Structure 1
Amino acid sequence: MNKKPVIGALAFSLAIVMAAGIYLGLGARPQLGLDLQGGISAVYTAELPDDVETPEDFEDILDETIEVIRARVDSLGVAEPDISRSGTDVLVQLPGVADADRLQELIGTTAQLTFRKVIATVPPGAEPQPETAELPAIPGYDEGPDCTAPVDEREELGTDERGLMCGTEDESQPDPETGELKVPKYFVEPAALTGDRIDDAFAAFGQAGGLAVSLELDSEGAAEFAEITAELACERDQGFPGQGRFAITLDGIVESAPTMAPGVQCGVGIRDGSASITVGSAGSQQEQEEEAQDLALILRTGALPISLEAATFETVSATLGADSLQAGLLAGLIGLALVGVWLIGFYRILGVVAMLELAVFGVIVMALISLLGEVGFALTLAGVAGLIVSIGIAADSSIIFRERIRDEVNLGKTVRSGVQKAFTSAFRTNLAGNTVTLTAAVILYFLAVGPVRGFALMLGIATVLDLFILYFFTRPIVFLLANTRFVNRKTVRAADTAAVVTAGSR
């Protein structure tokens, strides 16, 4: 037997094991999933108005919604977010996230942004006003949406409709009759511009020193914005009742309704394609900064094509995840110990080699999982289960090889020649079995969703790694040991030929 290829294969496998060990020694660790490190798990249901039928392209709308949510979550740097669709529901799992309220608002905010001309401000207690030569009939405060109701339960105003919209709580005014603080309403025109034209959005300090979200429009949006602001500047100069005000609305709320500044010229407008939304002054400076950053993120990643309602929103504690991980690792260690005791007790020196195989398997697979964590993969409890199953796969390969060796020696071959023949037969058997397992893992990975994919991925990686170790580590070590006194008929548990002859003579 030519030892050079055998020694080369062993050196190659040991180099990989050494590299994996160094990688882990430098502090690389697997990225843990939601069920192991805690986080947020939510199910969102798409909301359609009662009088609206489900559109034909509803599935495409849901897919687009998922992409918008994924963009928002990715902007926060969440590792391995699992955002998928199950029927008409959107499943969101975010490992390692603790601020549930912030994430819930970021994910569920529709962020439908519009720019509308303000016809009039309708303060609390205002009565309806008749139509005049300059203004249409203005509804009273009691008409339109109920500004005390939750935002998602208020009457919506379509982008092509004229009507009333609620202001923000920062603008609250006392009702003349009851003295109760109520937000004002704005009587606005149909949307002149929508958030689809936003090219960028970022938090900044406004002109008054407070926090604001600065908007940059694309070229087409900038041209439309310049045209609209030019008209509003003319209305301001002519003293129209609306005073050239422009409402910036977000999800049905007038976030800001500024008057055209004196520097904006009639017929010219704002031509740099920029606008800003003032952030509310409530809360601490840090909370205002966070609000501005979140609003900028939402506007930058785009509006949700459809409104979502959280059917379930749960926070998985890190303690529960740690308990699950410890239970999984304990089960794996117990299984490994039992397999090791049996292999060493039955196969002796070749059993020790089998334990070395499992150690090599463990080092390489941990390094691979840690490396995959760098690109977003997170190990879940299902993945741990896949790794535990893979211990049996690796042990099975060892047993097949050693049983083939014993069979060949029982047929009269020497240990040295029997090992070579046994490996060819055992590798062919393992290749066939592992091909079936790998095929099942691939099918399961592409058809399943959520944690089941983690199980399939770990099973597939373990299957490929098992073949690699069998060929590049087990084969050369056993081949080399076959040339020593450590491996003989007795250590491979071959039949005692003398006893067989004696039994036959009787």
Structure 2
Amino acid sequence: MASTPGRIRPWRYLAAFAGIVVVLYSLVFFTGDGRPSPKLGIDLQGGTRVTLTARTESGAAPPRDQLIQAQQIIEQRVNGLGVSGAEVVLDGNNLTITVPGAQGDQARSLGQTAQLRFRPVVGDPVPVIPATAPAAGATSNAPAAPPTGQSTAPAPAGSQPQGLAGDATSQKVAPVAYSTPLQNPAPPPSPAPTPDAGANPAPADPAVAAAIAQARATRQSTDPTVQQQALAALDCKANDPLRGYDDPALPLVACNQDGTEKYVLGPTIIEGTQIASAQATTNQNGAGYVVDLTFKNPGAGIWGDYTSKNIGKQAAFVLDGEVVSAPQIQGALYGVTQVSGNFNQARAQELASVLRYGSLPLSFDSNEAQTVSATLGLASLDAGLIAGAIGLALVFVYCLFYYRALGVLTILSLALSGVVVYAVLVLLGRWIGFTLDLAGVAGFIVAIGITADSFVIFFERLKDEMREGRSFRSAVPRGWVRARRTILSADAVSFLASAVLYILAVGQVKGFAFTLGMSTVLDLVVVFLVTHPLVALASNSRVFGSPAWSGLGSVAKIGAARRRATAAASKGA
């Protein structure tokens, strides 16, 4: 016998939903920091504000178009999907960044120029020895720096085995001597930014220009003797005047990001502008995280040719004049290249973000982080939650009064929907930086109505089927077949409207659209995996299926009268 369209095995659907809930909350409690709470936006928990002041090589006022471009890039870095709740405001020659929570260091790092360059390592890195007051008559036992282009360190005790193509480890090894010229010429240095002709430039700061010129004359000298003097004099804790202004066509004396080692680097092999994508992933060769890079053409070919001819040597990944990592080249890297540097997850994602969205046209200096209060936001949140609770209570009362037992199923479905939404909020906060703000709360309140509409459509279809003379049990599968088309159409329209709003909107409106679209998708999950199976189970129950409890008594009487009339008509014929 053919099965009735729409008839299901309810427990399978409920088990599938239970499995989804178990998976979601396993990820909530056993991944990330383990805290089962969503990230809150600036208006709910406050935030941290950092002001970035643009600086130019000449000390003149930065061009307006470059400030706007820098603002757009920083917005993409901090708020790529538009759901983190961060704000980037252009104020004169300053950029003010406000991020949720106490994340001052993260906000300051967003203003890094992010000029990534790949340079060969010349000689051995020199460890930075902490400055201590020597005892009387004591002599320094620090090893002398090796001559430029030579390696005096012994071979490592054991090196990692060669990995897959595109693998690069951060193990420090003794590089072989560096020789010039490079197999691939370095790109010409980018011109220094010039102020707008129509702008009123501030007086040039001679101290800034002098510091940059002096740093170039010593740390970017082609004279090996000058390089060694600059290497010895370099203070890794001091502000670097060459940050964002080093000449890619010249050598560079630089520190690593931790300030524990100094390097002599050769001219740039390839610029970071050739990066096509950057993604943070777990390190397959050890603990921690790495950043996977893929290159555009012709950068991929230049990098592949260089690595194929320099296997065993070190290449430094230099970000804003600081060495991020100096791995050994283990093979020709024509595919994915890994940037490793003892990253944790947050640092790897941060580096991937700044590289993915490009370098800033200006260099910035940041001030101290300031705390932003959330008093007004909390008051508005209380008002919004009270309004949402009143609306939800009215929906519950209406459903119980109008649908009775079916209203209980509505309340249960909404509660289970809230359970899923909460877990998704926590996970999205970890994975894509989603923060819940007042606009998001409004999106969820609107979504309650969309979810309730789906229940109403299904229940009214049940009534239509019972008016035609069918029993509650037989009306459920037939009513579901007709109702699901309408539910899918209505949710598709709602999701499409949310998607269009998300694409066109900016700021908090984008967060509202995101939460509304996400709630619409979860509404379908709940209706298909919870509401329909529960109604099917209720139709097989004597208690819930009775007209007195189901709220379908009036339509059941109409259906019974229609069946009697049909039977009488057939007898009379």
Which residue does 1:407 correspond to in 2? Answer: 464
For residues 175-196 of structure 1, the C-alpha deviation after alignment (integer angstroms, 9 at most, x for no partner) is: xxxxxxxxxx99979976999x
Q: Deviations over 1:3-48 (max 9, x none)?
A: 7643211210122234445555664211111111111468999999
Query: Residue 204 of structure 2 aligns to which amino acid in structure 1?
Result: E
The structure with more radius of gyration: 1
Residues in 2 aligned to 1:390 and 1:412: alpha-carbon distance in whole angstroms: 34
Paired residues of 2:70 and 2:362 also in contact (CA < 8 A):
no
**Counterparts of 2:559 and 2:517 in 1: how far apart (Å)?**
45
Q: How does 1:386-397 map to 2 (within 5 A)?
A: 386-397=443-454
Query: What do you get for the CA RMSD once the two structures are aligned?
Result: 5.3
Does 2:260 correspond to 1:212?
no
CA contact (8 A) 2:406 2:551 kept: yes
Conserved 8 A contact 2:400-2:406: yes
Indicate yes or no: 2:402 matched with 1:346. Answer: yes
Alignment partners' CA distance in 2, 1:273 and 1:386: 43
Query: Gaps spanning 5+ residues in structure 1: where?
Result: 113-151, 158-163, 168-184, 196-204, 228-271, 278-296
1:367 aligns with 2:427: no
- The alpha-carbon distance between structure 1 residues 40 and 424, as it changes in their structure 2 partners (threshold 3 A), is same
Q: CA deviation at 1:207?
A: 6.2
In the alignment, what sits opposite 1:63?
69
TM-score, normalised relative to structure 1: 0.56
Q: Answer yes or no: is the 8 Å Cα contact 1:45–1:309 preserved in 2.
A: yes
Structure 2 distance, partners of 1:45, 1:189, is: 23
**Cα distance, 1:500 vs structure 2:** 9.2
For residues 61-95 of structure 1, give each alpha carbon's deviation from its aligned partner in whole angstroms, at most 9, with x where no partner exists: 73355436766x79xxxx93635689999774311
Deviation at 1:387, TM superposition (A): 0.5
Asked whether 1:165 is paired with 2:207, we answer yes
Written as runs of structure 1 = structure 2, the 5 A alignment for 1:427-466 is 427-466=484-523
- Once the two structures are superposed, the pairs formed by residues 307-322 of structure 1 within 5 Å of their partners are 316-322=372-378
Separation in structure 1 between the aligned mates of residue 376 and residue 389 of structure 2, nearest angstrom: 20
Normalising by structure 2, we get a TM-score of 0.50
- Distance in structure 1 (CA, Å) of the matches to 2:471 and 2:559: 18
In the TM superposition, what whole-angstrom CA distance separates every residue of 1:293-329 from its partner, at most 9, and x where no partner exists?
A: xxxx9xx99985248899xx99631333333333332
Cα drift, residue 460 of structure 1 = 0.6
Distance 1:276-1:18 versus aligned 2 partners, 3 A rule: closer
How far residue 425 of structure 1 moved from its aligned partner, in angstroms, is: 1.6
Report the Cα distance in structure 1 between the residues aligned to 2:236 and 2:52, rounded to whole angstroms.
34
Conserved? CA contact 1:340–1:351, under 8 Å = yes
Q: Which moved more, 1:37-46 or 1:432-441?
A: 37-46
Partner of residue 535, structure 2: 478
Q: Once the two structures are superposed, what CA deviation does each residue of 1:429-478 show, in whole Å capped at 9, x if it has no partner?
A: 11111111100101111111111111111111111111111111111111
Matches within 5 A, 1:270-289: none
Alpha-carbon distance change, 213 to 325 in structure 1, aligned in 2, over 3 angstroms:
same
Mapped to 1, the partners of 2:520 and 2:75 lie a distance apart of 34
CA contact (8 A) 1:32 1:380 kept: yes
**1:35 corresponds to 2:43:** yes
Unaligned runs of 5+ in 2: 116-199, 221-230, 255-263, 266-315, 323-350, 566-573
* Pair 45,499 (structure 1): closer, same or farther in 2 beyond 3 Å: same
Shift in CA distance, 16/303, structure 1 to aligned 2, threshold 3 Å = closer
Asked whether the 8 Å contact 1:84–1:449 carries over to 2, the reply is no
Alignment-mate amino acid for residue 95 of structure 1? P
How far apart are the structure 1 equivalents of 2:212 and 2:238?
24
For 2:470 and 2:39, the matched residues in 1 are separated by: 50
* Pairing 1:495–2:555 present: yes
Q: 1:13 — aligned with what?
A: 17
Match of 2:238, SS?
A: strand
Q: Separation in 2 of the partners of 1:209 and 1:45?
A: 23
**Which residue of 203, 206, 223 maps to 1:155?**
203
Structure 1 counterpart of 2:412: 356
Residues 428 and 45 (structure 1 numbering): CA distance in 2 closer, same or farther, change over 3 Å? farther
Conservation of the 8 A alpha-carbon contact between 1:218 and 1:273? no
Asked if 1:221 is matched to 2:250, the reply is yes
Distance 1:309 1:419 in 2: 66
Shift of the 19–306 alpha-carbon distance from structure 1 to 2, 3 Å rule, reads closer
CA distance in 2, matches of 1:188, 1:445: 47
Local SS of the residue matching 1:212: coil
Is the 2:61–2:202 contact (alpha carbons within 8 Å) kept by the matching residues of 1?
no
CA 1:273 to 1:394, structure 2 compared with 1: closer, same or farther past 3 Å? closer
CA distance in 2, matches of 1:273, 1:408: 69
How many residues are paired up?
Answer: 355
> Quick check: 2:86–2:97 contact (8 Å CA) kept in 1?
yes
> Structure 1 pair 368/166, CA: closer, same or farther in 2 (3 Å)?
closer
SS at match of 1:412: coil
